[in-house]
Amino acid sequence: MEQIPLSHILILSSALFFLGTYGFFARRNLITVLMSTELILNSVNINFVAFNKYLYPEQLEGVFFTLFIIIVAAAEVSLSIAIIINLYRKFKTIDIDDTTTMKY
């Protein structure tokens, strides 16, 4: 079975990272910003696993880092969704510009 070159995996990871960065800075919806953050974290996960497989195939440090990032991302998503739900209940919108101009 032929192995995928590391450069192809890094190109995919870079594309995911830049799509996430664009979505984070260009969008004004809190859900879209949250999804963009997840894209950035997933691109880092791909890098960890790819470098682990190509540099140290007998060790699992990259996989353990990836599992740690997935756990942190799950906690981040649950906390972010709770904050977004509270903002929606208070302001009736999830648009970033609308929530920053309203008074508490």
Parse the chain into domains and list their residue ranges.
Answer: 6-101
How high is the pLDDT of residue 42?
Answer: 92
Please answer whether residues 99 and 93 qualify as being in contact, where contact means their C-beta atoms are separated by less than 8 angstroms: yes
pTM of the model: 0.82
Distances (CA, A) of 7 to 3, 4, 39, 89: 12, 8, 19, 46
- Distance, C-alpha 94 to centroid of its chain: 19
How high is the pLDDT of residue 81?
Answer: 92
Residue 57: φ, ψ to 5°: -65, -20
Q: Does domain 6-101 have CATH number 1.10.287.3510?
A: yes
How high is the pLDDT of residue 43?
Answer: 94
pLDDT by position in tens, the chain (length 104): 678 899 999 999 999 999 999 999 998 888 899 999 999 999 999 998 999 888 888 888 888 888 998 999 899 899 999 988 998 888 888 887 776 665 65
Give the single-character DSSP code of 57: T
